[in-house]
Amino acid sequence: MKKFTSVYDVSDPAQLVEEALHLKQAPHAYRDLGQNKTVLLVFFNPSLRTRLSTELAATNLGCHVMTMNATQGWRLEFADGVVMDGQSAEHIREAAGVMSQYADIIGVRSFPGLENKEADYSDQVMKAFVEYATVPVVSLESAIRHPLQSLADWMTIREHQRNDRPKVVLSWAPHPRVLPQAVGNSFLEWMQQAPVDLVVTHPPGYELDPAFVQHTPIIHDQDEALVGADFVYAKNWSAVHPYGEILPVEKNWVINGAKMDLTQDGYFMHCLPVRRNVVVADEVLDSQRSLVLTQAKNRLFAAQAVLKRLLS
């Protein structure tokens, strides 16, 4: 594996899930692998889980870790051929070139602007790092994808499934802020490769990009979609058309106990951070049905499995 920016960088995602679950049993088994190796994590946007779990994952593999908070650094230029007399102090060509001389792996988090769909879906920041870095690049969530989250989610489903082909429902949920589509996009992309029956439910108007939905069935009636579900994965995203907007929604889409009762004794999942009683009711989040802390724990081993492959 040369980079980790989407499920399509992984030739055998189901096998990667097994490797991550194996690392969960023996997190310190590969301490020598990272000897004299440095992992650099660059955050253009905030993070709690991704930062801590990826730092710990690299440490467990014996790597040295450097984390750069780029939210307050100077602006980088990503376009080619521009006269740089504006706000950007440095071009990505130099920045990624320099970083590659200090690190053996570079992780990058960069959210979308949510104003221009074409710009965001070109995934310019992640692609530029892949192009100009001379070491492997790991997505720590890009404008349109969050593959480490999806890998941890697949692990969590694998650990809790009670039949060979569980029903997995990705449900849109309300949120007061304009959020990216990255988590939903990636979840679809990874679950399409998994042995599950996948359904997505959202209010009309919240269709995700067809390139990510592919043949996944869309059910606009949330109750109907939840019937018989083994796993309910809630996530808000802003509209794709009109891009980056919050649309009026008629029904209450919060996941509460009554909705979970429609499932087949289903589990609740969310990538976190979650807004209590907006996305999901306390009664669900605080119940035995909630897997959110397990998902967050599995982020550690997902990152470790990916870093291990890139180091091997």
**Residue with smaller CB distance to ligand CP, 47 or 263:** 47
Residues 6+ apart with CB under 8 A from 162: 230
- Return the residues of window 13-72 that contact ligand AN0 according to CB under 6 A: none
**Residue with smaller CB distance to ligand AN0, 263 or 290:** 290
Cis peptide before 273 (omega within 30 of 0): yes
Q: 39-73 in b/e burial notation, b at 16+ Cβ within 10 A?
A: bbbbbbeebebbbebbbbbbebbbbebbbbebeee
Contact status: 110 vs ligand CP (CB under 6 A): no
Closest contact distance (angstroms) between CB of 273 and ligand AN0 is 5
Contact status: 147 vs ligand AN0 (CB under 6 A): no
**Residue with smaller CB distance to ligand CP, 45 or 264:** 45
- Return the residues of window 145-164 that contact ligand CP according to CB under 6 A: 149
Contact status: 48 vs ligand CP (CB under 6 A): yes
From CA 265, how far away is CA 268, in angstroms rounded? Answer: 10
Residue with tokens 């055998």: 12
From CA 165, how far away is CA 77, in angstroms rounded? Answer: 46
Annotate each residue in 175-194 with x if it binds ligand AN0 (CB under 6 A) or - if it does not, as one string: ----xx-xx-----------
Contact status: 272 vs ligand CP (CB under 6 A): yes
From CA 127, how far away is CA 129, in angstroms rounded? Answer: 5
Number of residues near ligand CP (by CB under 6 A): 9
- The SS3 of residue 181 is coil
For the record, the structure tokens of 114 come out as 């949510």
CB neighbours of residue 283 within 10 Å: 15
Contact status: 113 vs ligand AN0 (CB under 6 A): no
Closest contact distance (angstroms) between CB of 111 and ligand CP is 9
User: Which residue of this chain has its Cβ atom nearest to ligand CP in the complex?
Assistant: 50
Contact status: 50 vs ligand CP (CB under 6 A): yes
Closest contact distance (angstroms) between CB of 32 and ligand CP is 28
Among 271, 280, 296, 310, binds ligand AN0 (CB under 6 A): 271
Residue with tokens 């397990």: 294
Helix residue spans in the chain (DSSP H): 13-25, 49-60, 92-102, 117-121, 124-132, 147-160, 182-191, 210-213, 222-226, 257-260, 282-285, 292-311
Contact status: 304 vs ligand CP (CB under 6 A): no
By the criterion CB under 6 A, which residues form the site for ligand CP?
Answer: 47-50, 141, 149, 271-273
By the criterion CB under 6 A, which residues form the site for ligand AN0?
Answer: 179-180, 182-183, 271, 273
